[in-house]
Structure 1
């Protein structure tokens, strides 16, 4: 194929030197590739005349078909490039999608009406080599050597419940009351962290039976429905707190060092649609963090 590409340029210009400049090669390399192709075909494609080359009849017949073939290839790949530029696929966790992202993604699409946005929700780590995903929002400790990663916000957590649940249990609670109350996802390893930092010894033995859910989004909805106390991230639930659907039981928040990150392949850092999405997402997150702090 490299020899055919060289032939197409040389035939179009009928000049090996000009073809070499176009292709970023030496004139000698162009001449060699043409010789290889002629030997493979068994017919001359150019006549070497004094200080110039001229297409033979065979070369002229091949030239038109080869040029049309390369035009078709360029059109095919051009369509793929256009399609890729017009569709942004973002993968997120269930919690991030349900508590924040799905409510805001339309704002990005409205700001970029020529770009379609597809949201893929999964708690599995994205494999950029095999998944058709442009970028992903994931939680973790960061430091991925093979990915570009931008910090969105740190994950903290604190117990929350519905006002009705709180009223059923006396209207006020102490941290030491929590182990005896219905806890949502009592197996969550973050419970011992928060209790320990609150000065409460975690109960020994296996966690007590309770509602076990697979994401913070579901845990927050269960707490809103009055099913128990859940460990939730204030950033995700600030609107429910402001609307009185949830109550923060204590000022203390804890963290295990995890955060949410925007990740994407390092070599795609400068792709326009990824850069546009990154700038929009960081600005939206910063605005909402400021709003959360103002409400605290």
Structure 2
């Protein structure tokens, strides 16, 4: 069992001894000169040995203090070295948590660009719909969907989770002459998706007409519904921002110019106290730039016919 004196007092002694000045030690430690003097006096009383001689405007180590300082300073150097490896590892790896939909539909195709800009960083992408616990998990930042505020976290707004009926051009052609609601009712991949209610409200209709009463396949993510749409299986409510590549090259079309939202948004979040960590700040700056470019690209697409 170790018999250690209070570490705050040891810290004050080491700084004061190394600098041979209580005021300089106070500046280094972010303390007052009186607090450093008090901590040193506590240590001397605990040890029963004088560590400094107080002289006019300066302090001088006693022989006992000089012997102790050499070993204490070496000990602090070893502690610093012990944590240096952990700091270096933390600074060289960026771990991002993202929803499967955002990761597969938007982030994965662009993340290589960030890696090229910052080759010194190893990037790990963890996909989950679960809210990660920053206090217990090794995650630096996360892409979350929600109202935009989470206690203890800094949040940067990315874009609204809006949605509109989308299908393939072939599906639209087969149902030419129908409006978007009728096409959706004829081929909704997920007819019980709760998003249909706010979309119908935005479109000024009570509900989808002749909603098919069938069991069918129920898909639990927008990524899966989008894959089903691309395969020509029908209509789904999708977020244009996440499917702009398919909209741009014609694999998908919007069936209506009307979009709706359930009040959710995509945000980049991280613990407030880690917001300015360089690797997180670099990722945030890159992400916001990419989001702005993505939004501009979406706005440049031809209007919905």
**What is the TM-score of this pair, normalised by structure 2?**
0.84
Distance 1:154 1:17 in 2: 53
1:141 and 2:147 matched:
yes
- Residue 86 of structure 1 corresponds to 92
Decide whether the 8 Å contact of 2:268 with 2:284 is kept in 1: yes
The 5 Å alignment of 1:238-249 reads: 238-249=244-255
Which is worse superposed, 259-268 or 28-37?
28-37
Superimposed CA distance per residue, residues 113-139 of structure 1 (whole angstroms, 9 cap, x where no aligned partner): 212222121112232222222222112
- Residue 192 of structure 1 corresponds to 197
The 5 Å alignment of 1:84-233 reads: 84-144=90-150, 146-166=152-172, 169-178=174-183, 180-198=185-203, 199=205, 201-202=207-208, 208-233=214-239
Decide whether the 8 Å contact of 1:175 with 1:195 is kept in 2: no
Distance 2:211 2:229 in 1: 25
Once the 2 structures are TM-superposed, how far is the Cα of residue 67 of structure 1 from its aligned partner?
Answer: 0.5
Query: Quick one: structure 1 residues 39 and 225, their matched pair in 2 at CA, closer, same or farther if it must change by over 3 Å?
Result: same
- Residue 69 of structure 2 corresponds to 63
Q: Describe the SS at the equivalent of 1:157.
A: strand
Query: Quick one: structure 1 residues 201 and 117, their matched pair in 2 at CA, closer, same or farther if it must change by over 3 Å?
Result: same
Query: Quick one: structure 1 residues 181 and 73, their matched pair in 2 at CA, closer, same or farther if it must change by over 3 Å?
Result: same
Unaligned residue ranges in structure 1 (runs of 5+): none
Decide whether the 8 Å contact of 2:157 with 2:265 is kept in 1: yes
- Residue 77 of structure 1 corresponds to 83
Query: Quick one: structure 1 residues 70 and 225, their matched pair in 2 at CA, closer, same or farther if it must change by over 3 Å?
Result: same
Decide whether the 8 Å contact of 2:99 with 2:144 is kept in 1: yes
Distance 1:259 1:207 in 2: 31
Decide whether the 8 Å contact of 2:165 with 2:255 is kept in 1: yes
Distance 2:162 2:170 in 1: 24
Unaligned residue ranges in structure 2 (runs of 5+): 1-6
Distance 1:34 1:14 in 2: 12
- Residue 4 of structure 2 corresponds to none
Superimposed CA distance per residue, residues 206-249 of structure 1 (whole angstroms, 9 cap, x where no aligned partner): 96423211210111001111222111111211211232322322
